[in-house]
Structure 1
Amino acid sequence: MKMWIRAAALVAIAALAGCGGGASRRVVTDASIGSGQPVSGSYVGGAVPALGDSAPHVWTSGHPYNNQVHGVDVSRYQGSVDWATARAAGISFAFLKATEGGDHSDPAFPAYWAQTRAAGIPRGAYHFYYFCRSGAEQAAWFIANVPRERGALPPVVDLEWVHNSRTCRYQPSPAEIHQEVGTFMAILTQYYGQRPIVYTTVDFYRDAQLGRMNAEFWLRSVADHPRGTYPGQRWSFWQYTGTGTAPGFRGNVDLNTFAGNRAQWNRWLASRMQR
C-alpha cells in the first residue's frame, strides 16, 4: 500500500480517573484536538497507546485513536518483524501482500504467513490488482500462492491507480473494472469460501465508481475520517496512516483500524474467517 508522509500534528490529551486504586488512563477526544500539546510521534493515550506515528495528522473530523481494534498491512519492505511483540503491543490483525498481477509474488509472504500464525495474529493475504491482466488470470495466480487455511481472514483485492507503472498504465473503464474484478472475486469466493474485501483509495473509488460495487470495503483515508472522503460508504477497515510506528517493526508501517468495538470485532471474525 502507498506510504505518504503526513504533516506534523498537534493534539492534546484528557486525563480520566481509572477504576480503583486511583490509576488513570489518557484518551484522545475530539474536543482536545488543536489545543496545542504535541503528539511527539505517538498516540499520547488512545485505546492502543503503544502504537504511534512518525508524522502524525491532526484529526479534526473524527480520528482512529480511540478505536479499540488496530492492525497493520505489510509487504517485504517491512523486513524482519517481531510478530509476538507486535501482538503484545495491541496489533489485532495483519494483511500481508501475497501477489501482484499474474506473475509476481511477495518474497516475504511465506515467512510472514507462518510467523503471524505462530504469534496468534488473525491475518489474511492481499493481491495488488494489475489492469493489464484478466481477473481470471490473477485469481489463478493468487490461488497458486496463498493457502486455503482454516482461520485465515478473507482475501483482499487492492484496487488503486499506479500512474508511474513501468509495465502497465492502462486505465480501464468503470464497466470493465467491475466486470474483471467481479470475475476475480467470484473465483476467490468459490475457492476460499469467503468473499474478498476490497481495499481502495479516494481517487480510484471515485474514478471506478466503486460505490456501485457490492463489496465489503477497506478504505484508505490519511487526512480525514472516511465519512468525509467516502460520503455514505460503509466500511469495515480504515487505513489511516502510512507512517505509523509499532513495537516489533523497525520502521514505518501502515496502520489500520476496524470499524467496530472489540465485541463487534470478535463477531466479525466468527463470521468472516475461513473454515
Structure 2
Amino acid sequence: MKIALAGLLLILLSPLYYGYVLNGFVATWRWVKDWGQDPNYRTYKSFNIKIPKKYTVHGIDVSYYQGKINWQKVKAMKEDEVKVSFAFIKATEGILQVDPYFQRNWREAPKAGIICGAYHFFRPKKSGKAQAKFFLQVVNIEKGDLPPVVDIETLDGVSPLRMRLELSDFLTYVEMKTGVRPIIYTGLKFYEDNLEGKLDEYPLWIAHYYQPKLRLDKSRWKFWQHSDKAKINGIGHVVDFNAFNGDSTLLANMLVK
C-alpha cells in the first residue's frame, strides 16, 4: 500500500505528468476551437448558420437554384447587426447558357435596395474571349453595381495553364470593355492548386466553408463565401452566405463609378 502511494506521489510530482496534463489541455482547447466554439464564430438562429463575427457587411449569391425570390423580404431580414447588404447574381455559363432567373433578379434586387453584381460560370474548354462577349451581351453593368465576377472552380479536363490562359482572356476583355477590373471567384483548394501567385492583380472572392477564419492572408481577398446553407426570408432554398473584407465605405469604393 505504502509502495503504491509513494509511486502515485512520484507520478503526480513528475514534470512528465504535468507536461502530459498541459498537452491534454492544449489539445482540448484546439479541439474546441476547431469545432466552432470560437467566440468570434457564433450561430445566428434566424439565418440558421454560424457567421464570423468580425465582419460588418454581409451578402448572398443566387442563381436559378433559389427559384423566385422575394427581394423585399430578403432586404428586411436582420438579426443583431447581420443583414443582407449585397448579392451576386448568376448571369451566364459557358457560351450559351443564360440563367433563367437572372433578368428578374437583376431587376428586382436593386429595387429592394440591395447592391448587386453579376457573375459568369467559366468553362475552361471554351474560348475565354467568347465567354466574355457572351456575358457582356447579357449583362448591362452600370454605375453603382459591384464589379463583374468570373466563377472558376473546375478545369473541365484541360491543363491549369490552358485554364489560366482562357481565364486571362476573359478578364482582359471584360476589363477593356467595361473599364472595371473583374473579381475572380473560386474555392480555396482550387485557388491553392491552380491560381495562387497567378493573376494577382484581380480581387478575390474565396469559398471556404464552416470555419471561423479564412485560411488566406486578409490582404489577398475581398469576399469570403463561408457557408452554403443559410436560410433567408423570401427564398425557398438554402443560400450561400458571404462576408466582405471591410466596412460599408470600402464596399462603396468598390462599386462601378
> Taking structure 2 as the reference length, what is the TM-score of the superposition?
0.77
TM-score by length of 1: 0.72
> Does residue 274 of the first structure (1) align with residue 227 of the second (2)?
no
Rg larger for? 2
Amino acid at match of 1:250: G
Distance 1:104 1:81 in 2: 20
Q: Which runs of 5+ in 1 are unaligned?
A: 1-8, 13-27, 34-38, 45-49, 57-62, 163-168
How many Å apart are 1:198 and its aligned residue? 0.6
Match of 2:169 in 1: 183
Give the AA of the match of 2:188: V
Partner of residue 207, structure 1: 193
Q: Secondary structure at the match of 1:274?
A: coil
Taking the TM superposition and a 5 Å limit, the aligned residue runs for 1:111-150 are 111-150=104-143
Which of 39, 43, 56 does residue 29 from structure 1 map onto?
39
Matched, 1:82 2:70: yes
TM-aligned CA deviation for residue 231 of structure 1: 5.2
1:217 corresponds to 2:204 = yes
Q: Gaps (5+ residues) in structure 2? A: 1-33, 78-82
CA distance in 2, matches of 1:225, 1:141: 37
Contact 1:237 1:258 in 2 (8 A): yes
Q: 1:245 to 1:72 in 2, by over 3 A?
A: same
> Match of 1:134, as an amino acid?
S
The yes-or-no answer on 1:161 pairing with 2:144 is no
Query: Relative to structure 1, is the Cα distance of residues 83 and 142 closer, same or farther in structure 2, using a 3 angstrom cutoff?
Result: same
Q: CA separation in 2, counterparts of 1:178 and 1:226?
A: 27
CA contact (8 A) 2:214 2:224 kept: no
**CA-CA distance at 1:223 after TM superposition:** 3.4
Distance 1:68 1:206 in 2: 27
2:242 aligned residue: 256
Q: Deviations over 1:31-77 (max 9, x none)?
A: xx7xxxxx8xx515xxxxx4333xx5xxxxxx623421110000001
Report the 3-state secondary structure (helix = DSSP H, G, I; strand = E; otherwise coil) of the residue aligned with 1:212: coil
Would the aligned equivalents of 1:192 and 1:274 in 2 still touch at CA under 8 Å? no
Distance 1:10 1:178, change over 3 A: closer
Q: Does 1:51 align with 2:47?
A: yes
Q: What is residue 104 of structure 1 aligned with on the other side?
A: 97
Q: In 2 relative to 1, CA 200–10 (structure 1 residues): closer, same or farther, beyond 3 Å?
A: closer
2:227 corresponds to 1:241: yes
Q: Secondary structure at the match of 2:237?
A: coil
100 and 226 in structure 1: CA distance in 2 versus 1, 3 angstrom threshold: farther
CA, structure 1 residues 160+10, in 2 after alignment: closer, same or farther (shift >3 Å)? closer
Q: Are 2:223 and 2:242, in contact at CA under 8 Å, matched by a contact in 1?
A: yes
| Larger helix fraction of residues | 2
Q: How far did residue 171 of structure 1 move?
A: 2.7
Paired positions, count = 218
Contact 1:194 1:272 (C-alpha < 8 Å) held by counterparts: no
Q: 1:154 to 1:232 in 2, by over 3 A?
A: closer
Partner residue of 1:197 out of 166, 172, 183: 183
**SS in structure 1 of the partner of residue 197 of structure 2:** helix
Secondary structure at the residue paired with 1:99?
strand
